[in-house]
Structure 1
């Protein structure tokens, strides 16, 4: 395990957070750690276009009870940006390899946005590795087809991000689009601090990060959308206890996408928080922390 961090950008400071690098399948991934070393381990996976700092408000609320592991997904934050490996399956492979490298047999899993979608794949593929899944602002793999078709237009912006060779240029040279998506995702009463907004939009200016953002979205188009459309997930049963949290003002992941009736799952629940948008760790960290305690306390 190599503790030397890349220095292309300074790390945001957050008291009580330690940083190191974990090598997983030859890819160097940045890990931000906080909390109690002897506490129940929780792995936290961020969404787009964020990184570990997305959990800045949640970490202090849980640090006294849990061992908190915030992993930067490949190409984001301070993790390496490999040339390939950005499908959901690829991300799941790297996360499992990172857990092996850390010597962690079983953890609780918290994911937001793309991190939550990765979390579903992890829970389906390796249920024995996870005590539970808290999925924030992301549909589960079994949404009602009518709800999926009725809300598909809300993902219009992905057309600007996903096409090979084009998406990376948009992400790198049009940071105002990322800023717009971040601002659009939260209600007016939960604005982003200017320095935090600048941090997430600046991250995309790195060539590797821009390519990673493009390939992450394109991987979903070519792999996961066909699976959803053809009902391929119906053949996979979710046995990990899972709680989905959404916001009734989320402009992308609408409450209709969170309905759990008929999903092939042993324990899958969904809750919609009033007055909330797409970034619950930023808007309602207290409620995210409370949900984590309910799901992961021994």
Structure 2
């Protein structure tokens, strides 16, 4: 058995989420690292001496959301896709899921992976965490790219629209905040719920196959995944307060790329972030809904590469 195969088998033995299959991606290795007492799962590959790009996914996904873009990015970069606390094969802690607490754990995991400085790229709830991480650990970042996300206290609206033509994009924020009811309605029906999100919020209803829906639903159904997924929303007010507290000390100076899509949730990510950051540029990915890394992975990889080349 080769050293690489031995390392891969050792990593598999560390999987702490019982019954949840691991998905392999050619050229990448599963890793588990301690992050302030919480074990986080990361998938690492690409160029060991290249610039490091750390990828974070959002609801209702896992690191697997980046699987199509990762091989393209790996041609030039050292790539780490990470499951946030509560996602995929990471632990599901019972304490706070405010984005500053989560960001400190992500930074601890990146440090444990021996990465001193990196480019941070994040979608949806991952972008919530990335914005907070940039506020608290800006010195560790070369730059940050945020994809189609309303960020608590920054660009997430205080009121959910009631117009049906817009409400379908954001109704779940309020639903997830209700105590107990989402768990009662969703337990055992996780696949139906995930299926709705992936099919309705993508531009094409065929963007996700049954196997992908099964994968994400299983991750939410496994060992506290539903509780953890809802906790990000239930702690959003705390995330917003801590974001504003941090912004009181100064705006972001690290380069920020806002990535929107032609049919996403936030029409202009750059404009929504620019009041809070000094160096913001934007790009709109055509022919995509909310799940941009899945729907247009090559365009995302090209936009990220151009951003890194320009700001690096």
Report if the CA contact (8 A) 1:30-1:71 is conserved. Answer: yes
Segments of 5+ residues of structure 1 without an aligned counterpart are none
Structure 1 residues 202-241: aligned runs within 5 Å? 202-220=218-236, 222-224=237-239, 235=248, 236-241=250-255
| Deviations 1:36-71, CA, capped at 9 Å, x for gaps | 112111111110111111111001111121111111
Q: How far 1:103 sits from its partner (Å)?
A: 2.3
Measure, in 2, the Cα distance between the counterparts of 1:257 and 1:102: 30
For 2:158 and 2:184, how far apart are their aligned partners in 1? 34
How many angstroms apart in 2 are the aligned matches of 1:169 and 1:37? 46
> Structure 2: which 5+ residue stretches go unaligned?
1-9
Name the CA distance, whole Å, in 1 between partners of 2:288 and 2:33. 34
Using the size of structure 1 for normalisation, the TM-score is 0.88
Counterpart of 1:75 in structure 2 is 86
The yes-or-no answer on 1:13 pairing with 2:24 is yes
Measure how far apart 1:257 and its partner are. 6.0
| Alignment partner of 1:84 is 2:81 | no
Paired position in structure 2 for 1:283: 295
In 2, distance between residues paired with 1:209 and 1:82?
Answer: 10
Could you tell me how far apart the structure 2 residues matched to 1:107 and 1:174 are? 38
1:130-160 deviation per Cα after TM superposition (whole angstroms, max 9, x unaligned): 0011111114664497998799844112333
Structure 1 residue 260: deviation in Å? 4.7
Measured on the aligned residues, the alpha-carbon RMSD in Å equals 2.7
Structure 1 residues 63-212: aligned runs within 5 Å: 63-139=74-150, 142-143=154-155, 153=167, 154-175=169-190, 176-188=192-204, 191-212=207-228
Residues 6-85 of structure 1 aligned to structure 2 (within 5 Å): 6=16, 7-85=18-96
Structure 1 CA distance for aligned equivalents of residues 103 and 20 of structure 2: 26
In the aligned structure 2, how far is the partner of 1:42 from the partner of 1:135?
13
State how far apart, in whole Å, the 2-side matches of 1:86 and 1:74 are.
8
1:242 matches 2:267? no
**What is the rounded CA distance, in whole Å, between the counterparts of 2:207 and 2:276 in structure 1?**
37
User: 1:266-291, CA deviations, whole angstroms, 9 ceiling, x for partnerless residues?
Assistant: 21122222332100100111111011
Instruction: Give 1:172 shift.
Output: 3.1
TM-score under structure 2 length normalisation: 0.84
Whole-Å separation in 2 of the counterparts to 1:146 and 1:171 = 25
1:36–1:65 contact (8 Å) kept in structure 2:
yes
2:4 paired residue number: none
Q: State whether residues 147 and 256 of structure 1, in contact with CA within 8 Å, keep that contact through their aligned partners in structure 2.
A: no
